[in-house]
């Protein structure tokens, strides 16, 4: 093998990432939301800090498809106490603010508020620090607009370190109000960020790109798949199935699909959903997924794994590229009609733009 990754995947990944304009919309949207919250005289005294979460922050976001908006999550850590606020009461505290700034553009969800703007969709997530000692730690997480623009450099760490050198994922979980269940529950977004960062390092910088590729596969084949799993539950399952030590994205895609097929075969046969605890807390991220839907999804993964294996082992680009395009649609480059040098594993050949390496120990 002469190349660790074909230029086809380099170009494919470039074309499924959010565009610079979409990134700018996300930054402007949540920066304005944060600025308005910090200026609200009724709310700001109860804030500990704010920080980003979600696929945008974890660097696993893909370009919105079919007119959908880019999305970003903003977590607000408050000083609310469970003994004083029921979940519905906690969320009601933010409604005057939302009516003032986002009237007709927001909706109340089970554990957050969704805000729909023209080019971006935001989730406003309200949480509480479980103990006062954590307040100082979470207050250090707030980021300036300059910090957020620096985050476009994917070599930067996902999780900051406290002033004493302690990793922030070692803090206590936050508490989040679940309006539908009527209870406060644990959530630990910092562990999600830390886990993703460590996993990506164990995969030589390729893990986040495997996630992007498989999220895109799901978007391309949305009409053939059940509505769930998607979003973070899908990313979580990819993380559980993607093996450490992968050398390039194509390998990660194949081995993740095959591991998913094997690992969940029994669950699918029984129309059961696997129990998959969230990073850092004992909450099942698959709790809202139907067993029959999971079985149908598993069947599609099995088929995709077979196609990916054929593409991966194809002798040349002319054979491999159509198979990858069967999985990933027209964002994956076509192979030239003829000519060009060839290698092994999925048609590792040159094409316009030249060979490229995605990752090389960094996010790409």
Q: What is the DSSP string of 129-179?
A: -SSGGGHHHHHTT---HHHHHHTTSTTS-SS-B-TTS-BGGGSPPEEEEET
- With pLDDT > 70 as the criterion, what percentage of the chain qualifies? 79
Burial 220-249 (b: 16+ CB within 10 A, else e): bbeeebbebbbebbbbbbbbebbeeebebb
Answer whether residue 140 shows pLDDT above 80: no
Q: What is the reported pLDDT for 65?
A: 87
pLDDT of the residue at 358: 36
153 is catalytic: no
Tell me if 350 sits within 8 A of 344, measured CB to CB.
Answer: no
pLDDT in tens, 257-287: 999 999 999 999 999 999 999 998 998 999 9
Per-residue pLDDT tens digits for 17-59: 999 999 999 999 999 999 999 999 999 999 988 889 999 999 9
Give yes or no for residue 240 having a pLDDT over 50: yes
Catalytic member of 11, 25, 71, 278: 71
The domains of the chain are located at: 7-331
pLDDT beyond 50 at 173: yes
- Would the pLDDT of 361 be above 50? no
E strands within the chain?
A: 47-53, 70-78, 106-108, 113-116, 120-128, 174-178, 183-187
Confidence check: pLDDT of 335 > 60: yes
How confident is the model over 154-169, as pLDDT tens digits?
Answer: 445 565 554 455 555 4
> Average pLDDT of 130-145?
53
Given the residues 123, 164, 227, 316, select the one marked as catalytic.
Answer: 123
Please report, to the nearest 10 degrees, the dihedral formed by the alpha carbons of residues 152, 155, 156, 158 taken in order: 90
Is the pLDDT at 147 greater than 80, yes or no?
no
- Model confidence at 132, in pLDDT bands (50, 70, 90)? low
Report residue 128: phi and psi, to 5°: -135, 140
- Assess whether 164 carries a catalytic annotation: no
| Percent of the chain at pLDDT exceeding 90 | 65
57 vs 337: which has the higher pLDDT: 57
Is the pLDDT reported for residue 353 higher than 80? no
Half-sphere exposure of residue 93: CA atoms within 13 angstroms, side-chain side: 25
Q: How far is CA 273 from CA 243, 295, 361, in A?
A: 21, 8, 34
Decide: 346 and 7 in contact? Cβ < 8 Å: no
pLDDT in tens, 294-331: 999 999 999 999 999 999 999 988 999 999 999 999 99
- The stretch 134-150 carries a mean pLDDT of 48
25 is catalytic: no
> Which sign, positive or negative, has the C-alpha torsion 158, 190, 14, 237?
positive
| 52 bridge partner residues | 74
**Can you name the residues that pair with 183 across neighbouring β-strands?**
178
Nearest to 111 by CA among 209, 171, 183: 183
Q: Is the pLDDT of residue 348 over 90?
A: no
Q: Please report which confidence band the pLDDT of residue 129 belongs to, taking 50, 70 and 90 as the band edges.
A: confident
Distance (Å, rounded) from C-alpha 153 to C-alpha 131?
A: 34
Distances (CA, A) of 354 to 262, 348, 349: 36, 11, 9
Query: Is there a contact between 5 and 249 (Cβ–Cβ < 8 Å)?
Result: yes
**Looking at 25, 73, 278, 316, which residue is catalytic?**
73
State whether residue 202 is helix, strand or coil: helix
Mean pLDDT on 227-244: 97
- pLDDT on residue 67: 79
Check residue 330 and give its pLDDT. 97
Q: Determine the pLDDT at residue 152.
A: 46
pTM, entire model: 0.85
């Amino acid at each position: 093998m002469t190349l660790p990754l074909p230029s086809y995947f380099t170009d494919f990944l470039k074309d499924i990432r959010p565009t610079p304009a979409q990134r700018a919309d996300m930054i402007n949207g949540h920066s304005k939301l944060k600025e308005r919250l910090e200026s609200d005289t009724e709310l700001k005294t109860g804030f500990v800090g704010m920080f980003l979460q979600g696929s945008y922050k974890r660097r696993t976001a893909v370009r919105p498809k079919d007119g959908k908006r880019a999305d970003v999550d903003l977590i607000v850590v408050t000083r609310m106490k469970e003994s004083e606020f029921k979940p519905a009461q906690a969320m009601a505290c933010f409604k005057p603010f939302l009516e003032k700034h986002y009237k007709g553009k927001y909706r109340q969800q089970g554990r957050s508020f969704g805000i729909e703007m023209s080019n971006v969709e935001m989730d406003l997530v309200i949480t509480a620090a479980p103990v006062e000692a954590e307040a100082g730690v979470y207050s250090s997480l707030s980021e300036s607009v300059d910090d957020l623009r620096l985050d476009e450099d994917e070599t930067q760490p996902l999780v900051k370190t406290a002033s004493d050198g302690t990793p922030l994922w070692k803090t206590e979980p936050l508490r989040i109000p679940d309006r539908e269940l009527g209870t406060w529950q644990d959530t630990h977004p910092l562990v999600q960020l830390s886990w993703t960062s460590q996993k990506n390092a164990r995969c030589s910088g390729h893990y986040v790109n495997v996630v992007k590729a498989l999220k895109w596969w799901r978007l391309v084949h949305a009409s053939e798949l059940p509505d769930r799993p998607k979003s973070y539950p899908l990313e979580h399952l990819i993380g559980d199935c993607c093996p450490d030590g992968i050398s390039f994205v194509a390998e990660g895609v194949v081995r993740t699909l095959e591991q998913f097929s094997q690992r969940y075969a029994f669950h699918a046969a029984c129309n059961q959903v696997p129990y998959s605890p969230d990073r850092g807390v004992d909450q099942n991220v698959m709790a809202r997924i139907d067993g029959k839907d999971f079985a149908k999804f598993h069947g599609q993964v099995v088929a995709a794994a077979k196609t990916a294996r054929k593409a991966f082992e194809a002798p040349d680009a002319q054979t491999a590229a159509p198979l990858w395009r069967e999985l990933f649609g027209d964002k994956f480059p076509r192979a030239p009609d003829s000519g060009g040098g060839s290698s092994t594993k999925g048609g590792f050949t040159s094409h316009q733009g030249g060979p490229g390496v995605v990752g090389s120990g960094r996010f790409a």
